[in-house]
Structure 1
Amino acid sequence: MATAVESFRRHSVAGTSLQMISDELGLTKSAIYHHFRTRDELLEAILEPVMGELEKLVAAAESARGSRAQADAMLTGFVALAVAQRTLIPVLTGDPGVGDFLRSRPDWSAVVQRQLALLAGVEPGMAGQVKAAVVMAGIAAAVGVDYPEAGDDLARLQDELVTAGRRTLGLRSPRGA
């Protein structure tokens, strides 16, 4: 799956074939087909754990009291997920083929819409929705950047992403943070 993600990064989902992945691994095409009959099956296997984790984060954020607390819980949870999956998230969120695939799965599409609603809940209307979309896309893009100054300090990256997200959404840091 790591080879598939790297191929998706280089060539996009639509530009990657199972043959390309099997060639990269030095396997026969039938060896790949034994596990995944289609590229979509492979993409689903890659996305499933991430979407499962996102579903848990959304449910936890929805249980918070008040729109600001919900948005902050969603923000901090998504940042933690994005940092933990920093090689995968930028690839998946920046690829139109993945967007099409997510829309073909109503259950996963609904999770993303709930995530967006939680982040947008701080400010009603289109302004809140735009800010939420900017935060989601910004986090997804920013986790894939190398920050030489930070080195391997993922906690610092996480803190900076949460701070930037809070500013964009108009959230204050919780007391004592």
Structure 2
Amino acid sequence: MHVVSARERLLTAALDLFAEHGVSGTSLQMIADRLGVTKAAVYHQFQSKDDIVLAVIDPALNRLGPIADEAEAQRGNAARREQVLAGVVDLVVGFRKVSATLSFDPVVMRLVRAHPALRNLQRIRRLLGGTAPDPGSRVRMAVIAGGLMMAGADPAVTGLDDEDFRDHLLAAGRRILKG
């Protein structure tokens, strides 16, 4: 049985409030009120709202390095590409709610642009074959990067269970990468 910590409850409440009001529209007092605690109790866990946002998105961003590591351990470009595609798809599926809630938020975009884990996105692009200079490769990378990452935020796929969603994302990614 998993016991939910105070930190996990706070992050869940914050994510729910971010979904309702956006990051900028959510105050620390709102988070405290949702939890039935004082604002001081929120500050005991996190020093700022940015720290809360980072705690929500860090697990996803921190998966980028291991995805690239696992892919780089494969033999051959095709195996590397398949491994990184599967890893990114699993990431999208696993963090659907975070993606749907925070993908377009300007505060989140600012924090993500400064996040050290972003250097791993370049590794992932390289593993997918995105360093080729030709226009077709560059467009395929843009579609993969934007399309797969944003798929979790699309209301059209909300009703799909994780397994179906994963299977269809993998199939779409493979078709795009074929060119």
TM-score, normalising length: structure 1: 0.79
Taking structure 1 as reference, are residues 91 and 133 closer, same or farther at Cα in structure 2, changes over 3 Å only? farther
Task: Name the residue aligned to 1:84.
Answer: 94
Task: Name the residue aligned to 1:127.
Answer: 136
Correspondence 1:5 to 2:15: yes
Q: Output the CA distance in 2 between the equivalents of 1:90 and 1:114.
A: 25
Cα pair 2:92 2:151 within 8 Å, conserved: no
Deviation at 1:56, TM superposition (A): 0.6
Q: Output the CA distance in 2 between the equivalents of 1:20 and 1:94.
A: 21
Identity of aligned residues (%): 35
Task: Name the residue aligned to 2:62.
Answer: 52
- Per-residue Cα deviation, 1:103-129 (whole angstroms, up to 9, x for no partner): 223x21212232233234385445323
Amino acid at match of 2:169: L
Amino acid at match of 2:69: A
Taking structure 1 as reference, are residues 21 and 164 closer, same or farther at Cα in structure 2, changes over 3 Å only? same
Cα pair 1:103 1:109 within 8 Å, conserved: yes
Q: Which runs of 5+ in 2 are unaligned?
A: 1-10
- Per-residue Cα deviation, 1:66-105 (whole angstroms, up to 9, x for no partner): 4333222111111112112221123343333222112223
Cα pair 1:117 1:129 within 8 Å, conserved: no
Amino acid at match of 1:33: Y
Q: Output the CA distance in 2 between the equivalents of 1:169 and 1:27.
A: 49
TM-align CA RMSD: 2.5
Deviation at 1:44, TM superposition (A): 2.0
| Stretch moving more, 122-131 or 45-54 | 122-131
Task: Name the residue aligned to 1:159.
Answer: 167
- Per-residue Cα deviation, 1:132-152 (whole angstroms, up to 9, x for no partner): 2322322233234364874x3
Cα pair 1:79 1:139 within 8 Å, conserved: yes
Q: Output the CA distance in 2 between the equivalents of 1:149 and 1:110.
A: 33
Q: Which runs of 5+ in 1 are unaligned?
A: 172-177
Q: Output the CA distance in 2 between the equivalents of 1:93 and 1:119.
A: 22
Q: Output the CA distance in 1 between the equivalents of 2:59 and 2:152.
A: 18
Task: Name the residue aligned to 1:139.
Answer: 148
Task: Name the residue aligned to 2:53.
Answer: 43
TM-score, normalising length: structure 2: 0.78
Cα pair 1:131 1:169 within 8 Å, conserved: yes
Task: Name the residue aligned to 1:28.
Answer: 38
